[in-house]
Structure 1
């Protein structure tokens, strides 16, 4: 009897670190201390200033609201958002996303895909010239 092998994700051996800082340390830092650690695109966004809607979203996260819905796909994921569940609009519906530590400084839109994968069916009768010769039984 053959044994079924299931693909398992590797267990994380040590706590997640971002550029040498743990998530707890990142959460204690202010925005001005976080800006030098960010990737270039996120750093540029914060240097130019975030919108009022994005400030409101950050305030709601800091307040500890558990049900947050947003259309702000261009919002950078900050360390305060880790562990929260945020519903992100993908153009049709809200996609529920739990923010993991690995998502820090990525964008919300990266986790709510706007297009679905297409699974085409088989060709039906009359779809091609060769389907004429398919026996109908």
Structure 2
């Protein structure tokens, strides 16, 4: 599985000195010690019911299954664990589900970080009823 992910100096992905295969073989408590503080605290306090269900469905799924039929979830506050690498999730952003394929570099981040909930605003010209000062466009 790790042969398709190549990064780093030697060409193999590592996370805090451990390869992807080593990370996937570790227990949750061992992985927790390597995660950033916020993700570590989330696991320390105990995963919620929805997070537990997502973790179980992710551990049961395979890469081939999720490529065709991704795991749909509203759980944006789930830390990405090594067992999620290669899986495809559809994360809800408040209006629709967006596909997120988990790469090894995403370990320790949250699912919601890769599916933004707010769109960027690009303003056009001043519309009908705008004041004279807002219609002013300086010459360059």
TM-score normalised to the size of structure 2? 0.78
Query: Which position in structure 2 is the counterpart of 1:99?
Result: 102
Query: Which position in structure 1 is the counterpart of 2:3?
Result: none
The offset of 1:12, in angstroms, is: 4.0
Q: What SS does the corresponding residue of 1:25 show, helix, strand or coil? A: helix
Higher fraction of helix: 2
Q: What SS does the corresponding residue of 2:56 show, helix, strand or coil? A: helix
Query: Which position in structure 2 is the counterpart of 1:81?
Result: 84
2:50 pairs with 1:47: no
Q: What is the RMSD of the two structures over their aligned residues, measured on CA atoms?
A: 2.0
Structure 2 residues without counterparts, runs of 5 or longer: 1-5
2:54 pairs with 1:57: yes
Provide, for residues 26-79 of structure 1, a one-character-per-residue CA deviation record: whole Å limited to 9, x for no partner: 011110111111111111111111112111111111111522011111100011
Corresponding residue pairs, total: 122
Query: Which position in structure 2 is the counterpart of 1:5?
Result: none
Q: Which runs of 4+ in 1 moved over 4 A?
A: none
2:41 pairs with 1:29: no
Structure ID, larger Rg: 1
2:132 pairs with 1:122: no
